[in-house]
Amino acid sequence: MPPKGRIVVTGATGTVGREVMQRLARQGAPAVAAVRNPGRARSTLGTVPTIRFDFEDPATYDETFRGAEKLFLVRPPAIAAVWQSIFPALRAAQAAGVQHVVLLSLLGAEENPFVPHRWIEWYLQSLDMDWTFLRPSFFMQNLSTTHRAEIRDRDEIFVPAGEGATSFIDARDVAAVGARVLTGAGHARRAYALTGAEALTYAEVARILSDVLGRPIGYHDPSLLDFVRRQLGQRPLGFVLVMAGIYLTAQLGLAARTTLDVERLLGRPPTTFRQFAEDYRSVWAPSSSGS
């Protein structure tokens, strides 16, 4: 049954949340984008309803959750101390009467007590609200955001993933599942493992990109040290170490698991990497701007 109360969408200017918000708006669902800077968010989101919300500013909690029934919860990558700024927000959501939290978690979180996503899952299970955990694999969009510049400017993918395969998922599929779970019934207290239909090595990814972009894109498999060295010029140490950990996991063959959950939930196969590359082709065009 569609929710009667509001759906609060966090991370609504980000990769997944933006798509969730736009899908809900198109469906006419009573959704509001909870964003740190509503003025700036308008340039990303257009005219959807927004409210000022900051996990790190508890003064924004009450107004955000008043009258809300569901919450799409994205843990911002920069927030590691989730007990400081995510747990208090969840307590405020519960106190305001939110009934169901849909968490953007991480593939394999159930087996990994070291990731903040797992700590949030545990915390949600201890509260008196329904929950659904979306546990996606590695987003295809990492190649159109984090690795965009190296592909566009140097025609290369520079990650230490060896010959390990990854079951890449299109973040748009994750968002489609999110919107479906937020507006449909039967998802309470369930966890979904969301992956693409196939696992690809980075050499295979480079071949598909070469094909679609019409110019050779190479895969360079640097040592961990060379990778960290190059990334440190561009990103903070914490982020670089998380990236290194992710590629090491792929190198060890631990990122290749595929599931049927996306197809079951959406009634269609997951988006292929080739389709993703075709849809995003312009971001890697040598003349395009952006980081």
Ligand X SMILES: NC(=O)c1ccc[n+]([C@@H]2O[C@H](COP(=O)([O-])OP(=O)(O)OC[C@H]3O[C@@H](n4cnc5c(N)ncnc54)[C@H](OP(=O)(O)O)[C@@H]3O)[C@@H](O)[C@H]2O)c1
76 binds ligand X (CB under 6 A): yes
Among 82, 104, 181, 217, binds ligand X (CB under 6 A): 104
Residue that has been written with the tokens 């997951």 in this structure: 270
75 binds ligand X (CB under 6 A): yes
Judged by CB under 6 A, the stretch of 21-29, 51-59, 123-131, 282-290 that binds ligand X is: 51-59
58 binds ligand X (CB under 6 A): no
Per-position x/- string for 18-37, each x denoting binding to ligand X as judged by CB under 6 A, each - no binding? -----------------xxx
- For 101, the 3-state DSSP assignment is strand
Task: State the DSSP code for 175.
Answer: H
With beta carbons less than 8 A apart as the criterion, state whether 205 and 273 touch: yes
CA atoms of 35 and 14, how far apart (whole Å) = 10
Residue 12 or 217: the one with the smaller Cβ distance to ligand X is: 12
Among 16, 45, 199, 250, binds ligand X (CB under 6 A): 16
14 binds ligand X (CB under 6 A): yes
Judged by CB under 6 A, the stretch of 70-78, 155-163, 180-188, 247-255 that binds ligand X is: 70-78
State the minimum distance, in angstroms, from the CB of residue 102 to ligand X: 13
Among 29, 32, 71, 74, binds ligand X (CB under 6 A): 74
15 binds ligand X (CB under 6 A): yes
Q: Which of 131, 66, 50, 128 is nearest to 91 (CA)?
A: 128
Quickly list DSSP for 126-183.
HSSSEEEEEEE--BGGGGTTTTHHHHHHHSEEE---TT-EE--B-HHHHHHHHHHHHH
Q: Which of 240, 210, 235, 207 is nearest to 222 (CA)?
A: 240
Residue that has been written with the tokens 């005219």 in this structure: 47
Residue that has been written with the tokens 């990303």 in this structure: 44
State the minimum distance, in angstroms, from the CB of residue 81 to ligand X: 11
Q: State which residue has the least CB distance to ligand X.
A: 14
